[in-house]
Structure 1
Amino acid sequence: MNKMTALRFRSVRLSISFLCVACCILPATGYTSENNNQHSIEQSIDDVARTYHASLLYIFSQQKLINSTQGNKSRLFGSALTDNVKETYRALFAQDFPSREDKYINLLLKHMVLVMEDNRTLLLDEHISYKGFIPAIFAFQLSTKFRERGYGINIKFTNVRSRIRNTLSAPDQWEQQALNTLVKDQNSIILDSKASYQGQPAVRYMRPVRMTPLCLNCHGRPKDNPVNNGLEESQWQTKDRTGFYMEGWKLGELGGGISVVIYGENVAGYDESN
């Protein structure tokens, strides 16, 4: 990270608390505006990131239902989905869900529902016992919808280039620099209110994601792979259930980051003093 770029970053300290749930996404306190009466762009971008964060956790928590070949799956769709994401948010951050008056939150909830509808046939299939619809897939599809529709806001779950599986989710230069910072200090978020994106003024944000025990099922060592349970070590598979080779990552390492950028007309006239 060059000196000029480093000066533009503001690192907001976080308190990371561990939940008694198995997930790759850990909660953190968010940004608080100095003017509580002003719902600033900084607050909006943090609300979006945490809502996205909560949705990934909810999809993670529903893996057993997602992969089942029978049963009522209504809580994966429509208003039941968004209600459960809101409840997950409240449990995760111990605070009320952001106002639906925020256009970005509305867009995010709407497109979560669209992603699940796109996958309805797969999710309701009675013959496929492993659907492969993991949080990373949900995150990528949700991010793609935002990018393709040109709302002036993009969201992405990414990682440093040396640790990325889906190259379509690879970090851009700003994200790589932010991730490099988080590798050294996982108790911070990165907020850059003087950034640019595609040649336009932008506010950019990166939230850390830590490795937890369940992450190791796919990203740890062969002994962490559930498909190897009960097998002799000589019979262990080195690929996870999704078909990727396991990387040997460890607990406490940075598992990636949630990147949000608001750009263009959406930040025109933005006053940093907010």
Structure 2
Amino acid sequence: MSALLDVRNVETFYGPIMAIAGVSLAIEEGDIVTVLGANGAGKTTLLKTISGAIDCRKGQVIFAGEEVQNRDPDAVAAKGIGHVPEGREVFPFLTVEENLKLGAWGRRDADEVARDLEAVHTYFPELKRKAADMAGYLSGGQQQMLAVGRAFMGRPRLMILDEPSLGLSPILTRTIFDVIRRINAEQGVTVLLVEQNAAAALNVANHGFIMEVGRVVMDAPTRELLRSDDIREFYLGQSDAGIRGEKRWKKRKTWR
């Protein structure tokens, strides 16, 4: 069975600088997959390349059997990829309800759109209470709920999320990750998640990729990643190696 998303040997540049170098990964339909890595590893660039926000210079992004690399973001979204960007990027001068309905801009199934809006209100009751409020006046946590809800309104087969817990309290982080899990289980939406909160990401995902300096250096089910000494030490902090361990990490060129 072919993967829902198949990224093959993708290279993406910012001017002369290569941001991701020969990245390949495959995601099966129904999975929750996480990509972990230090700042600057190329995670956000990877997501933007998949969603069409950035063109790649080489390689293929194949979604549901069709090449989508270097297409306009609206065309990629219409194929069934919903992108929740880092920083939320809600429309501040539109209401919460207007933001959500914009997520369904390309749909013509009005009854299903109404049902999906009700589903968003079930996942995030606060958005229903704030429906008439301007999005710019929401708290950071409420804006993140809105960004997730807006992507869901496009009825995606694949939802990609960039740092959904950024700047959120532990309680709101649990809320967001619980909804991600529910959307996957109840709606059948496949999820690709970039997240600095490695513990939360590995807890919700069933497979993970580790990126380092624009390359994928590890690819395994999360149960295997959680058994890795490197992952436990450098992502989960389950070590007393302290500064010595961090220096060792910076020098390491390959995984043990």
More helix by proportion, 1 or 2?
1
More strand by proportion, 1 or 2?
2
TM-score band w.r.t. shorter chain: 0.3 to 0.5
**Please, what TM-score do these two structures have when normalized by structure 1?**
0.32
